[in-house]
């Protein structure tokens, strides 16, 4: 073998090695993505949650959200726990600022994006619905003290 042939083989080997490394990285990424996808599905809805409730949020931190009624420019929602269906918050919400979003009994399920624990708003397409205090009830709301449980210094 002469030097030119050796250089060609080294070049081919380098290209083949780079290709193998690229394939390995792609396959590893696909495997990690596939393992992570187990949580991307909507969780099973507990039996006590209304059929009309929609899922919002992420696997462990999301909520089931149900529109009870629209009255006097307020949207009365009930938010339920992801797994056990406990009522977490029962309250009215209003648009925060100006919004080009129209929410009614027919389209609300397609407008809700998320509600985060310890937040005072529901994220919707094109804006936010801000919580109106006091809330009516739910496990997040301490009726006796008129505050969220995380705002109450007396709760341990």
- CB-based contacts of 82: which residues, under 8 Å, 6+ apart? 43, 57, 59, 60, 61, 62, 63, 64
Largest Cα–Cα distance in the chain?
A: 90
Span 41-82, pLDDT tens digits:
788 899 999 999 999 877 777 889 999 999 998 999 999 988
pTM for the structure as a whole: 0.68
What are the residue ranges spanned by the domains of the chain? 3-38, 54-151
pLDDT in tens, 4-49: 788 888 888 889 888 889 898 888 877 776 555 445 678 889 999 9
pLDDT in tens, 81-98: 888 899 999 999 998 877
Residue 143 to residue 156: CA distance in whole angstroms = 16
């Amino acid at each position: 073998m002469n030097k030119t042939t050796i250089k060609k083989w080294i070049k081919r080997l380098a290209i083949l090695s780079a290709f193998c490394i690229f394939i390995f990285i792609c396959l590893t990424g696909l495997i990690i993505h596939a393992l992570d996808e187990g949580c991307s599905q909507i969780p099973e809805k507990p039996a006590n949650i209304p059929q009309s409730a929609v899922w919002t949020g992420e696997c462990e931190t999301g909520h089931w959200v149900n529109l009870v009624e629209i009255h006097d420019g307020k949207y009365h929602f009930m938010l339920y726990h992801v797994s056990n269906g406990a009522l977490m918050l029962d309250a009215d919400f209003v648009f925060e600022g100006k919004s080009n979003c129209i929410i009614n009994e027919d389209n609300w399920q397609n407008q809700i994006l998320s509600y985060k624990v310890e937040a005072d708003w529901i994220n919707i397409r094109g804006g936010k619905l801000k919580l109106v205090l006091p809330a009516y009830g739910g496990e997040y709301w301490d009726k006796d003290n008129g505050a969220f449980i995380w705002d109450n210094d007396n709760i341990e």
